[in-house]
Amino acid sequence: MIMEYNANIIGRKYEQDLIAEYCETPKAELVAIYGRRRVGKTYLVKQFFANDFDFYFTGSFETPRSTQLKLFQKELERYSHVNRLKPKDWYDAFEQLRDYLSSLDKQRIIVFLDELPWLDTPKSGFLSAFSYFWNSWASSQNNLKLFVCGSATTWMLSKLVGDKGGMHGRVNRQIYLRPFSLAETEQFLRTKNIDWERYQIIEAYMTMGGIPYYLDMLKPSLTLDENIDHLFFEKSAALCTEHNFIFRSLFKDSRVYRAVVELLSANRNGLTRTDIQAALNLDDGGLLTEVLDNLCKCDFIRRYTSFGKKEYGQIFHLTDLFSLFHLRFVDKSDGQDAHFWSNMQDNPRRTVWQGYAFEMVCLHHVAQIKRRLGISGILSEVCAWSCKAFVDKNGTEYKGTQIDLVIDRRDDTINLCEAKFSSDEFAVTQEYADRLNSRREIFRAATGTRKSLHTTLLTTYGLKRNKYSQTVHREVTMDDLFMED
């Protein structure tokens, strides 16, 4: 039987292709699906298979092993229609699962174990029992397709995918689920009868980061600002404590992780590892390296190599839009103003946030930017760049500057990208034109590059034509960012 796309799933065509492919192979498959919390992993699997599983079980957050085993027993009874004793431990639980699955006479057996990291409670023995179940029996059942999910990306990668013990090399199928793109967000909102302009969709994206679970909470009867007030700032708002829960559910020592994210949220230009270590007064050990790696894997931050450098000079930027909004506004609100966001219409804090968040949106849509520039097929490297004030060999003084997005192309061209969030066409003033020209000159002097330098403006409604607009060589508008991958 050939698996087909599920019309209820927005986007995710690539992921659906992979699931369908793995279901058709003539051997047992252990497929790990991971990604940040609320991104839609469970929804994808359940909708793809229309909830038609031969066995499904999900872990519970901070729940004792005895309770988890009792729940496992109840689910096994429901699927097998056989009364069973409560498993003594996870080895017993998987032995009972093996007995049940062995009784099935089917061309394809689909098993889905959700929130696997939450089953691996301290001293539970879950992972060793799961490893024994797979290695001793399940891996030899050619009709068995075992799907496992987990929001704790670090656990999924270190304990399952990258395990050095019994699971080493066993997970040969991985699917990493990312947040929606702008195109997918627009499509999703339309299914909810929300027909906003793209400017508003980008604002919603800057607030919720393309996370389907949050977007699903939006109400078509409310404006965007009213929705944000309702979800974040009203008394007992649904998302007012979500940020804390995300960190507690993902990381064991969530305080250090949150401290790094808070620090980066206050530094728009990003920080080096040394900067972060000094600011948080951390020892020069492996902890910070582990924290930064895990935050990158979970899509909270992004590591950029500075132009012209390899490992040295790496810059860490916050890229999780939901975290930025929460730290800038929700955590700082006193909870007394239920219309906080609506009352922030002309507040400079909102304007500053919009500029920063729009830069992050652009970083999430580099593929669309390259397509608009017509360079999708040209080998290129995306990086960041910054320099401090310096004096060249001729004694010329240059100021320090920062460029968050540099596209270094093999066709001897470099795009120096500048993001501007504007409610109308963006007008280049003489002052701004001088700044762009100066930045280009500083970049050439500091790097010594002989490539052509194209100043590229990333904005909402494009450029307003005037005598200074020719300073910008190429432009990318918000409509371009909505192109499908």
List, for residues 266-313, the tens digit of each pLDDT value. Answer: 988 888 888 999 999 887 678 888 889 888 888 899 888 777 665 556
pLDDT in tens, 152-204: 777 887 778 765 555 656 677 889 899 999 999 999 999 999 999 999 999 99
- pLDDT tens-digit series, residues 350-387: 999 999 999 999 999 999 999 999 999 898 888 888 88
Which two three-digit tokens encode residue 25?
A: 């192979």
Number of domains in the chain: 3
Angle between helices 273-280 and 286-297 (to 10 degrees): 120
Instruction: Judge if 264 and 384 occupy the same domain.
Output: no
Domain containing 275 equals: 180-301+316-364
The rounded distance, in Å, linking the Cα atoms of 115 and 15 is 19
pTM of the model: 0.89
Query: Same structural domain for residues 164 and 79?
Result: yes
Q: Supply the pLDDT for residue 311.
A: 54
In a domain, 306, yes or no: no
pLDDT at 431: 96
- If one compares 434 and 285, the residue with the highest pLDDT of the two is 434
Confidence band (pLDDT; 50, 70, 90) for 1? very low
pLDDT band at 101 (very low <50, low <70, confident <90, very high): very high
Identify whether residues 19 and 121 lie together within a single domain. yes
Cβ 60 vs Cβ 118: under 8 Å: yes
Q: Are residues 379 and 340 in the same domain?
A: no
* Residue 1 domain flag: no
Where does a domain end: 120, 151, 176?
176
In a domain, 5, yes or no: no
Structure tokens, 67: 């309770």
Average pLDDT over residues 70-86: 95
Answer whether residue 27 shows pLDDT above 60: yes
